[in-house]
Amino acid sequence: MIGKCDQCGLESVEVKRMKKPNSQEETALCNQCRPVDGAYAY
Ligand SMILES: [Zn+2]
């Protein structure tokens, strides 16, 4: 979806909502901020 990245603050970027590890809290991360090492991987 297009939205604002919670980490870098960029707006109008493609973000994915995902739960933080060990938390019920959701965060939206853009492609840049989303780790590719598997920490948030599906
Ligand atoms: Zn970002």
Q: How far is ligand 1, taken at its centre, from the CA of residue 34, in Å?
A: 7
Q: How far is ligand 1, taken at its centre, from the CA of residue 9, in Å?
A: 6
Q: How many C-beta atoms surround the C-beta of residue 15 within 10 A?
A: 22
pLDDT in tens, 7-40: 999 999 999 998 888 889 999 999 999 877 655 5
Q: How far is ligand 1, taken at its centre, from the CA of residue 27, in Å?
A: 11
Is the pTM of the predicted complex or chain greater than 0.95? no
Q: How far is ligand 1, taken at its centre, from the CA of residue 2, in Å?
A: 12
Q: How confident is the model at residue 1 (pLDDT cuts 50, 70, 90)?
A: very high
- Burial of 39: CB neighbours in 10 Å, binned 0-12, 13-18, 19+: exposed
